[in-house]
Structure 1
């Protein structure tokens, strides 16, 4: 696979309509994709845990006003690990050119809790991971619809608003796309 086919800084929408599938109606932002595999975070699904509970469980005093901002359900891998999606410059982050940044740095978590963090962010538990060639095969089999769009909206919208917003921006309803080779573009 050549570099131009990697899906970094793109979104993937899961096309299978089986409501029992973990990825049903999921939109994933890809932070890393190369010959070794891929890593992404689901950005449109939350879990019923607020930031305040995370700060408390990590014994971090929060100066924020009892935030009830729910965490993203980032994916089925490493579900005990906290990830921070953000737009701030941070040397401990995986930074995507013209995209979002990702870290699991406790320093960043502490800065968020104390109100010192400069930038927009969302917290996520877990991530989505693919082994070498696995994501490419899934895309070739039309499991995922690849979307190129600036990621700024991730911080501006609640998780449940993301699919309707992106559908309007693209000019078609993502939830109505069928998984056939004729409708999948990449």
Structure 2
């Protein structure tokens, strides 16, 4: 059996017609992908009424220099668990270097560093994640569920949330208006 290539460091884009409505036009920063499964952080939707200052207050971290920004809906798994996707210029406890475009940290020390003005140059905060079991993501990709786009930090950090899905497709050279939710059979 041929082992699938790791897609960690890519942006997963939901295909039109994605069967799970929670992932319609989803953009996920894929942070782990191996024979045991995959983990991605959603970056295409924000949580209504949740801001970084809310989270810092809940964790008893003074807001300090942290801007009060939106918090992303990272995914349906463990929606109370926080993650920071960030530029690789910062490393702390539990930081996972995903690619040369971004890292992932799930510990409280990065939030304190951001509030103190000594955090990464670019970052975004998410609650929850999307997870797949062994070979599950690979099967969903074969069934017209996901497209693995190149992992571009500019899509994560420089584009507004609502524009990330279409911007990622365009960066791949694909006009999303030409995508269809029907697959063919040869």
Residue of structure 2 in register with 1:40 after alignment = 40
Residue of structure 2 in register with 1:62 after alignment = 63
CA shift digits 1:45-77 (9 cap, x unpaired):
111211111111111111126x33101101001
Residue of structure 2 in register with 1:51 after alignment = 52
TM-score if structure 2 supplies the norm length? 0.87
Q: Give the distance between the partners of 2:151 and 2:106, measured in 1 at CA.
A: 25
| Alignment: residue pair count | 181
Q: Give the distance between the partners of 1:123 and 1:110, measured in 2 at CA.
A: 13
Shift of 1:153: 2.8
Q: Give the distance between the partners of 1:138 and 1:51, measured in 2 at CA.
A: 33
Residue of structure 2 in register with 1:168 after alignment = 170
CA RMSD of aligned residues (A): 2.2
Q: Give the distance between the partners of 2:130 and 2:140, measured in 1 at CA.
A: 13
Q: Give the distance between the partners of 1:13 and 1:5, measured in 2 at CA.
A: 17
Q: Give the distance between the partners of 1:46 and 1:19, measured in 2 at CA.
A: 21
CA contact (8 A) 1:80 1:126 kept: yes
Q: Give the distance between the partners of 2:169 and 2:55, measured in 1 at CA.
A: 32
Q: Give the distance between the partners of 2:108 and 2:76, measured in 1 at CA.
A: 21
CA contact (8 A) 1:29 1:43 kept: yes
Q: Give the distance between the partners of 1:62 and 1:19, measured in 2 at CA.
A: 40
Shift of 1:113: 1.5
Shift of 1:12: 1.3
CA contact (8 A) 1:25 1:175 kept: no
CA contact (8 A) 1:45 1:160 kept: yes
Residue of structure 2 in register with 1:122 after alignment = 124
User: Which runs of 5 or more structure 2 residues have no equivalent in the other structure?
Assistant: none
Q: Secondary structure at the match of 2:9?
A: coil
Residues 1:98 and 2:79 are matched in the alignment: no
Residue of structure 2 in register with 1:150 after alignment = 152
Mapping for residues 77-96 of structure 1, pairs under 5 Å: 77-87=77-87, 88-91=89-92, 92-96=94-98
TM-score if structure 1 supplies the norm length? 0.87
